[in-house]
Chains A and B, each alone.
Chain A
C-alpha cells in the first residue's frame, strides 16, 4: 500500500512540471508582442525594447521558462498587465469563491445523483427507471450556462424567489445560501447525472454478486442487504468519479460564474483573456491544473483506503 502511495506521489511531479511547461508555451507562443501592447501605439522603439528587457522578454525561451518556474515555486505568478497587481494576489482574492461554488455543486451532485441512482436501480426496468435515466441523459446533454439561464428565468424573474446574480454572503447565511443555490444546481447537474447513471449501474452489478445472494438467503431484510452490504461496495467507483467531476466542476465554474456574476476566478480569467492580460491567464490556468492534479492524487489515495483490494495488492 505504501509503495502505491509513494508511486502516485512521485508520478505526479513530472505531470505538474509538464503542465507548467505547457501553460508557459501556450501563453508565450501568442502572436503579437506584449511589450509593444504595453507600450502603446505611440511608443518609440527604445521604450518598447526597455519594456521588453524589464519583463525579461528578450531572453531565450528556456531562460524565460526557468525564471517563470522559479517564480512560481516562490509563489510569484507575475504581475497583471491590466491592474499592475501581483497575479497571485488577484487570484487569491477570488479562488476561494470558485472552490466554494465547485464544492457545493459537488455535494449537491453527489446527494442528488446517489439518491436517483439507488432509486432507479431498486426499480430496475420499470417506467421510473427509464424515466429517471432519461432525465439523467438530458442532464449530461444540456449546456450548463443555458440551464443556469433557465433557472434564473424561472426562480428569479418569474417567481422572484432567488437572487439572479452575485454572491449574497457566506454559506451559512440565508442570503449566501439563496445566492449559491442556482449556480450550484446549474453547474452540478451534469455531474449529478453522471453519478446517477454510475450509481445505478454499479449497484445493479453489485446486487448480482454472490455475496448479495448469500445475504438474502440468510434471510436478511432487503433494506439491510441494500444499505449495509451492497451500497458500500457500489459506491467505490462513485468516489473516483466524484473526484474527477470536481475537476469538471472547477473548469465549468468558469462559465457558470459568468452567468451568475459569481465573484470567482472564472470571471477573472475570462476578462483577462479579452484584455490580453497573459500573466493572469497563465497564473490562473496553472493554478487550476495544479489543484486538479493534487485533487486526483487525493482521490487515488482515498480510493486506496476504501478499496481493500488495492491495499493488499
Chain B
C-alpha cells in the first residue's frame, strides 16, 4: 500500500494513470458516449471536415470519426490487455520453470526465448499472422507471442536469485511442495517489476497491433480499429486529412498513458532499474 501512495506522488504516474483511466472509461461507456454506432453509414455525409455535428469529421462512408474512435477504444484496449496477458502468463510460467529447475531445461527454454528474440521488430508477429490469417484475435495471439521473452527473463531472474537464498532450502526441508514455494515466495517479490513491464507491454502491444492493422492484417472492416482507420486515411491524405490524423492521435495518447504509468512506477520502485 505504501507503493500506491508513493505512486500518487509521481507526476508521471498520475498523468499516465489518468490517461489510462480515461481510456478505460471511454471504452466502457462507448455506447453512451459515442454519438452513433461505429458503422452508421450515411453517404450524404461522406468525407466532411471537422465541424458541428461531427467534431472529428466523417469518413468516406459518412461515418462519424469521433464515434468510430470511441468504439475503437474497446478494440485497442482488448488487444493491449489480452496480448499482454498472453505474454505474461506464458512468459512467467516458462521463466518460473526455467529458473526453478535450472539445468538443461533452463538452457532449452532460454534458447527458445533467444530464437523468439531473434526476429526483429514485428516480423515474428507478421509471420504468425501470415499463417493464422488476418483478424483481431490472431493479431492478439501474434503480438502476445512476441512479448513472451521479456516476461520469461524477468521471472526467471527473480526465481534464480530467490533459489540462492537459504530459506528456500529450509522451506523445502520442511516439506513444502515446489509449486507452493514458487507461489508464496517468488510471486510477492516480482509483483512490482511485473506491473511495470505489464504497463509498458500494453503500450507496445497496442503499437504493434496498430501496425499490423495498418497493413490490413488486423481487425477486419467494419470493426473500428485505429490502425486500420489510419490505413484508410492514407489514401485520403490530400483531400481528407482528418480520417488518418485523428485515429493516430488516439493511439499516441493511449500508448503515452501506458508508458507514463510504467515510467512513473519504475521511478517509484527504483530509478536505476533498467527494464
Contacts and interface: CB of A to CB of B under 8 A. Distances in A.
A289 B248 contact: no
Contact of A251 (B111, B121, B214, B259): B121
A258 B215 contact: yes
**Dominant SS among interface residues on chain B:** helix
B47 interface: no
B255 interface: yes
B139 interface: no
Given A137-B260, A146-B248, A273 B126 contact: yes
- B130, B230, B259, B260 — which one has the most chain A CB atoms within 10 A of its CB? B130
Given A138-B256, A145-B211, A247 B227 contact: no
A15 interface: yes
A26 interface: yes
A272 B236 CA distance: 25
Interface string A146-157: 100110110001
A292 B119 contact: yes
Contact of B211 (A150, A255, A292, A293): A255
A125 interface: no
- Chain A interface residue count: which class? 35 or more
Interface string A262-295: 0000000110011000100100010011011100
A18 B116 CA distance: 9
Interface stretch (B62-70, B189-197, B238-246): B238-246
A92 interface: no
B121 A247 contact: yes
Interface in A1-53: 14-16, 18-19, 22-23, 26-27, 29-31
A281 B123 CA distance: 10
B111 A141 contact: no
- B118, B210, B255, B263 — which one has the most chain A CB atoms within 10 A of its CB? B118
- B112, B116, B121, B234 — which one has the most chain A CB atoms within 10 A of its CB? B121
A69 interface: no
A19 B119 contact: yes
B123 A29 contact: no
Contact of A285 (B119, B211, B247, B259): B119
B238 A157 contact: yes
B114 A15 contact: yes
B266 to A, nearest CB: 11
Given A152-B237, A248-B120, A143 B112 contact: no
26 contacts: A14-B111, A15-B118, A16-B118, A18-B115, A19-B119, A27-B130, A30-B131, A141-B252, A141-B259, A143-B210, A143-B211, A143-B251, A144-B211, A145-B214, A145-B230, A146-B245, A149-B237, A250-B123, A251-B120, A251-B122, A255-B122, A255-B214, A258-B215, A281-B127, A285-B127, A292-B120
Given A145-B214, A248-B120, A249-B120, 9 more contacts: A19-B118, A27-B127, A146-B251, A149-B245, A251-B121, A251-B122, A254-B215, A285-B127, A288-B120
The 10 tightest CB contacts between A and B, nearest first, are: A251-B121, A146-B248, A247-B120, A18-B115, A251-B120, A141-B255, A141-B256, A292-B120, A273-B130, A250-B120
